[in-house]
Amino acid sequence: MSSGAPNDPVPFGKYYLLGLIARGGMAEVYRARPVVRSEAKPRLLAIKVMRPQLAREARFVDMFHREAKLAMMLKNRCIVETVEVGQHEGRHYIAMEYIGGRDLTQVLRRSQENQQHQPPRLPDRIPVPHAVFIGARIAEGLHFAHNLGDADGRLLNIVNRDVSPSNVRLSYDGDVKLLDFGIAQALMKFTSEIGILKGKFSYMSPEQIRGMPLDARTDVFSAGIILHEMLTTEKLFRGDTEFALMEKVRKAEVPPPSTFNRRVTPELDAIVLKALARDVMDRYQTASQLAADLDNLIAGYRFDPKELRQFMRQLFRAEYARELEDTETALTSEPGLPITISQTMRMPAATGRGMTPTDLVPLVDPAEVSAPATGTGGEPPPPALPAPLDDKPRGFWGSLFGKKKPR
């Protein structure tokens, strides 16, 4: 089966596919561009295509289209934009903006690799101002989703419930985008069985671990975990067993980030600990409150968002160079003979975690759709990943980066 490449476009309806960049439980994501170049400045897209075997299941098709309709409503600078929802020759797809860059999981992993390199390489951690800025943008995107209403102005009560580093995209231009609202719940329309845990234990709130009803404050807690890990380059919640990990999340005993990073100020410690309060009433009540406190702190650092762009291009120097080359090729190449997507795609054998163009794929369970993500051309798609709820992390960042072992 051919999924195209930057120099070998493959027709798919109104688009040319330019290579597979991500795999998830429900769908695969391809780099693409429109066949008809109507824009003065053409741009690349990411096309999420449902797996053909799942299209035979009405409930999966319904889930896919529910996600797509929700995503079409999420128009915010901190959320990946969904351009179109459609179907071609029985294949259901979602077209999204293409974000050239890396997800936060990859950024943390590369930072740790630089720390461990002898001699150490720079940058070897996310600078504090950068982490504060990223945290503020995550909170901004969450606040928008939490307060989204329908055509009649009624609040949809969207709760993401899967806010994690693999679902945060940092572009080479310094943008911060939330990926994958694939298991977001519009509680007005959809319900979830109490006790059915979705997402990843390490990034869940205490109330989510307990299987309690959730609201926007569970996403605030998850955003707090991400902020803590960016500041410390350490996993916040770890356990040798699933039960031990769940107990740590339930107790939510959180050391101040300054324990690991002396550059963290008391003011920033206080913000992080408030976001990670075990009791929801002691936590930030809205994501906008968290964003406001972080933005106020950024002013003191005199941070310029262009610094994040420079950081990303330096941290992924070779990958950025390949991205530029592949993007130019993808926008100018012409197709050969038409080739359709295979109806019998198979997941490759599981190997290491690796995070290439997603690892462009975040950790997923079979009910989830992979996050819209982008890749650096020429790299192979990531291997199939085991479900996180059934896995045991390896080392400090095992749950993020390493191959996992069954418990």
Least confident piece of the model among 1-15, 108-122, 177-191: 177-191
Is the peptide bond between 123 and the residue preceding it cis, with omega within 30 degrees of 0?
yes
| Residue 244: band (very low, low, confident or very high) from pLDDT cuts 50, 70, 90 | very high
Is the pLDDT at 375 greater than 90? The verdict is no
Q: State residue 182's pLDDT score.
A: 53
pLDDT tens sequence across 157-174: 888 888 999 999 999 999
pLDDT tens sequence across 171-204: 999 999 998 775 444 333 333 433 334 447 899 9
As annotated, the active-site residues are 162
- 108 or 344, greater pLDDT: 108
Q: State residue 179's pLDDT score.
A: 87
Mean pLDDT across the chain: 80
| Residue 352: band (very low, low, confident or very high) from pLDDT cuts 50, 70, 90 | very low
| Residue 27: band (very low, low, confident or very high) from pLDDT cuts 50, 70, 90 | confident
Over residues 236-244, mean pLDDT: 91
pTM score, whole prediction: 0.78
Question: Rounded to an integer, what distance in angstroms lies between the CA atom of residue 170 and that of residue 172?
Answer: 7
Cβ atoms of 183 and 66 closer than 8 Å: no
**In 158-215, which ranges are continuous DSSP H helix?**
206-209
- 69 or 77, greater pLDDT: 77
Classify domain 102-309 at the CATH class level: mainly alpha
Do 1-98 and 102-309 fold alike per CATH?
no
Q: Residue 103 pairs with which residues in a beta bridge? A: 169
Classify domain 1-98 at the CATH class level: alpha beta
Question: Rounded to an integer, what distance in angstroms lies between the CA atom of residue 92 and that of residue 155?
Answer: 28
Over residues 119-132, mean pLDDT: 93
The percent of residues above 70 in pLDDT, for the chain, comes to 77
Q: Show me where the domains of the chain are located.
A: 1-98, 102-309
Q: State residue 150's pLDDT score.
A: 85
CA distance to 210, 235, 270, 277, per residue, from 251 (Å): 11, 16, 18, 10
Question: Rounded to an integer, what distance in angstroms lies between the CA atom of residue 367 and that of residue 161?
Answer: 14
Question: Rounded to an integer, what distance in angstroms lies between the CA atom of residue 134 and that of residue 128?
Answer: 10
Question: Rounded to an integer, what distance in angstroms lies between the CA atom of residue 80 and that of residue 7?
Answer: 25
* Dihedral over Cα of 240, 241, 245, 247: its sign: negative
Q: State residue 2's pLDDT score.
A: 66
Question: Rounded to an integer, what distance in angstroms lies between the CA atom of residue 150 and that of residue 157?
Answer: 10
Token pair listed for 13: 């309806």
CA distance to 1, 105, 139, 165, 393, per residue, from 397 (Å): 34, 9, 23, 12, 7
First to last CA, the chain: 35
Q: State residue 39's pLDDT score.
A: 64
The continuous run of DSSP H or E covering 16 comes out as strand 15-23
Is the pLDDT at 146 greater than 90? The verdict is yes
Over residues 222-246, mean pLDDT: 94
Is the pLDDT at 395 greater than 90? The verdict is no
- 1 or 88, greater pLDDT: 88
> H helices then E strands: how many in the chain?
11, 13
* Dihedral over Cα of 53, 56, 57, 60: its sign: positive
pLDDT tens sequence across 277-292: 999 999 999 999 999 9
Is the pLDDT at 349 greater than 50? The verdict is no
Q: State residue 192's pLDDT score.
A: 40
Question: Rounded to an integer, what distance in angstroms lies between the CA atom of residue 312 and that of residue 320?
Answer: 8
Over residues 377-397, mean pLDDT: 37
Question: Rounded to an integer, what distance in angstroms lies between the CA atom of residue 94 and that of residue 82?
Answer: 7
pLDDT tens sequence across 36-67: 877 667 889 999 898 888 888 888 788 778 77
